Amino acid sequence: MLTIKNLTKSYGPQQILKGIDFQVNQGDVITLIGPSGSGKTTLLRTITTLEKGDGGTIDFAGVQGELAHLSKNDIRTIRQNVGFVFQNYNLFNNKTTLQNVTEGLVVAHKIPKAQAKTIALAALKKVGMADYVAHYPSQLSGGQAQRVGIARAIALKPQVIFFDEPTSALDPELVGEVLKVMRQLAEEGATMVVITHQMNFARNVANKVVFMADGQVVEAGSPADIFDHPQVPRTQQFLAEILSNV
């Protein structure tokens, strides 16, 4: 469904992504793990066109082309078919919970207001935020805000939803409510790519784990492969470090 080949990306003289191949199939729940600074965020941002790639190709939603030379139309197509959940939620601060979800539906997808509202309410109900439709982001807790962020993404029925450390900015006691929503989405068959340090989620919810280090995919496989039988020393070392911390 989504295929990335040989993606490269530099910031100035520093090469951040060094030729990445990445494949997402319908219904996949992929967790992307790896040390800080390994390029996970940059990978997601480049796939979703928030950053421009230097080299490599994308095949997604009918767009086939070089990431460095996407047309305006290609970019729009890609954006209209992905969802993105940000670490800092990035809710529209001047919009209510409901408006945060309807905004994209009405403005970008040209769905009539009444219908957009119905869709938005269903999405908010799914994340347990239906009682907060008139709240502004400044009135929500981090966990609530992130669940609105998820509702905003799923309301658009994207082919893939990307999550960039969706629980990292949350107080520990709020992490659970967000993970619960994500687990539920996965069970309903949503296609998801999740950067996370929540190893329980990676092990129990994902069907595929991708380990990145230094701008490269070091190892990829099923959770059992990666967690129980990592082949590459770099992976073993990372897992040993991160699992000893919990």
Partner 1 sequence: MSLDTNFMAQVFKTAIAGVPVTLQIVLVALIVSLPIGFIFALVRIYRVKILSPLVRLYVSFVRGTPLIAQILIIYSAFPSFLATIIGKSAFSIDPINYAYIVFTLNSIATLTEVFRSALQTVDKGQLEAGLMVGMAPRQTFVRVILPQALVSALPNITNATLYLIKNSSLAFIMSVKDITAIAKTQAAFSYNFLEAYLVVWVYYLIIAYAAELLFWFLERYFSRFQRTTTAKSFNWHLFSFKQPTTTVAAVQYDPKKELVNHAHN
CB of 199 to ligand ADP, least distance (A): 16
Considering only the stretches 42-50, 114-122, 169-177, 219-227, report the one whose residues sit in contact with partner 1 under the rule CB under 8 A.
42-50
Residue 196 interacts with Mg ion (CB under 5 A)? Answer: no
If contact means CB under 5 to 8 A according to the sort of partner, which of ligand ADP, Mg ion, partner 1, none does residue 227 touch?
A: none
Burial (CB < 10 A; 0-12, 13-18, 19+), residue 131, is exposed
CA–CA separation, 121 and 123 (whole Å): 5
Contact (CB, 8 A) for 126 and 183: no
162 versus 211: smaller Cβ distance to partner 1: 162
Distance from C-alpha of 87 to C-alpha of 84, rounded to nearest angstrom: 10
Query: Side by side, which strands form the sheet with 2-11?
Result: 14-24, 2-11, 55-60, 63-66
Nearer to ligand ADP, 27 or 37 (CB): 37
Residue ranges in 168-227 that form contacts with partner 1 under rule CB under 8 A: none
Tell me if 1 sits within 8 A of 160, measured CB to CB: yes
Q: Show the site string, 44-83: x = touches partner 1 by CB under 8 A, - = not.
A: ----xxx-x----------------------xx--xx-xx
- What is the smallest separation between the CB atom of 77 and ligand ADP, expressed in angstroms? 24
